[in-house]
Chain A
């Protein structure tokens, strides 16, 4: 794992994207996340907003941006459910912060590392979600580790396709 000085990497390798990509990618992720499950008949075991949050947090390497993006995506996801607003928000806020912080310290151009991080951060997001719901709020929530693991694998597979596609949209000097 390549480790270099944070400030140097940040100055050297912050990626920039057209404004349209910043605006449309999270929106498309939210819309598709709400629309696709209607055709997958209850087997929508993926989290597109989470994958997009991880991607932008990793490549931007600015923790405040990653944290804010995670919070907004999570809150919007919560708002579309009938559940309490803030559960997904907390999970994705933490994920956005960690992904940005890790992005400063490791070589996120390595595709394998990015996929591994996506899997681990998905797992962390699920754990925070269940923890907040059951422990912090004391609400009843039935859940299955198997489904959570499947969701993490599905997120990783989506990242396998989505990350190279988004890489191609960056502004190159």
Chain B
């Protein structure tokens, strides 16, 4: 007997390991009510222990590498490469001013929406609290779109919390360890998020395909779905708050399963850069009220709304007056935003006339111009100004109309 174990020890070790792993796999899979097998979303204690060990081994070096990279990048960007910083600051300040005004204008709608929801006894959830986290590692497998972030239960992370960026949703927290967490991205084959198409209001479930593209699976074919349509979170999955950007429709393909004729899959181009994630936000709390920070922002916007809005209104009025005084360059049949002067996409923009080879008294801007000849220098200045209306937003006095000489 002893010689049997010694002789076949290699094969016995192999078989023992294989059987143990097969039994372990069988524990992790369960049969759903639809008759299909699926992975148990809740890991058992043994599985969780293995994940914890692997994470404890791999995460510290990953964190070290990531911090070294961040340190180098910070040193470069904050102490060495400071070109255009002043210009960037000015542009950002302008953006903040513009967004404050937009926020103030949306404030009334939001308040009205809250009042209506209260009447309907419906509680909209707002993002109340978020935690910033850095992506420090991935699953390392092209079949799995899971990545690791540097915040865990020590920072209040819990499973099924939504992970987003400023561009759009990213995924949800799958597994939480003391100092790190695993995030299941929306382009993983085992993920699932409730989404809605913005225009057609068609709802579906978003999950990834084999090559890591998120797709809305198993919806009825509909001619109205067109590439470019925005996809938003539907809010029904109790993970992602409603209305967050997911991406845009990239293309529509037929459902690959032959028995599901008439169904389509909608490939979505994600709004967030899922392959190049550095910093993400984990939504740790949603409430039916605005957060203190949001309320403070709204108060600031409200306070600034009056004077800034008045200034912008003045600018708009001045532009309108200027436009009225340029009858040849304004098409009354076109709306304001499609006028040739304002249309930056116009391939043939209205420009200055070419310089005359032999200027005469009728040449615009020439020394022998008719207006000058009439002894009215103000008219000449006025003509110059009105030829470039976009240069100034302030209204100018119109030039005195020139009377044609009577024969």
**Contact status of A34 and B21, CB under 8 A, knowing A42-B275, A67-B13, A80-B146:** no
B167 vs chain A, min Cβ distance (A)? 16
Residue on B nearest A147 in the bound complex, by CB: B142
Identify which of residues 217-261 in chain B touch chain A, using a CB-to-CB cut-off of 8 Å. Answer: none
Q: Which residues of A contact B182 (CB under 8 A)?
A: 80, 82
Q: Which residues of B contact A84 (CB under 8 A)?
A: 25, 28-29, 39
**Contact status of A45 and B142, CB under 8 A, knowing A30-B57, A84-B25, A139-B39:** yes
Whether the pair B50, A82 counts as a contact (CB closer than 8 A) is no
Whether the pair A79, B50 counts as a contact (CB closer than 8 A) is yes
Residue on A nearest B60 in the bound complex, by CB: A31
Q: Which residues of B contact A35 (CB under 8 A)?
A: 62, 65, 136-138
Chain A: number of interface residues, binned into ranges = 35 or more
Whether the pair B50, A33 counts as a contact (CB closer than 8 A) is no
Instruction: Judge whether A44 is part of the interface by a CB distance below 8 angstroms.
Output: yes
Whether the pair A67, B62 counts as a contact (CB closer than 8 A) is no
**Contact status of A34 and B184, CB under 8 A, knowing A79-B51, A87-B25:** no
Cα(A63)–Cα(B16), bound, Å: 14
**Contact status of A67 and B138, CB under 8 A, knowing A76-B58, A93-B21, A137-B25:** no
Whether the pair A34, B58 counts as a contact (CB closer than 8 A) is yes
Whether the pair B24, A86 counts as a contact (CB closer than 8 A) is yes
Most A CB within 10 A of own CB, among B50, B136, B141, B184: B141
Q: Which residues of A contact B75 (CB under 8 A)?
A: none
Instruction: List 23 contacting pairs A-B, 8 Å CB cutoff, sorted by A.
Output: A30-B54, A30-B57, A35-B62, A35-B137, A42-B275, A45-B142, A64-B10, A64-B13, A67-B10, A67-B14, A76-B58, A78-B50, A80-B148, A80-B182, A82-B175, A82-B184, A85-B28, A90-B22, A90-B25, A93-B14, A129-B143, A136-B22, A138-B36
A residues within 8 Å of B by Cβ? 27, 30-31, 33-38, 41-42, 44-45, 63-64, 67-68, 71, 75-90, 93-94, 97, 101, 129, 132, 136-144, 147, 151
B residues within 8 Å of A by Cβ? 9-10, 13-14, 17-18, 21-22, 24-25, 28-29, 36-39, 47, 50-51, 53-55, 57-58, 61-62, 65, 135-144, 146-148, 174-175, 182, 184, 188-190, 209-212, 275-277
**List of 8 A-B pairs having minimum Cβ-Cβ separation, nearest first:** A142-B210, A79-B54, A81-B144, A33-B140, A41-B275, A63-B10, A86-B21, A138-B37
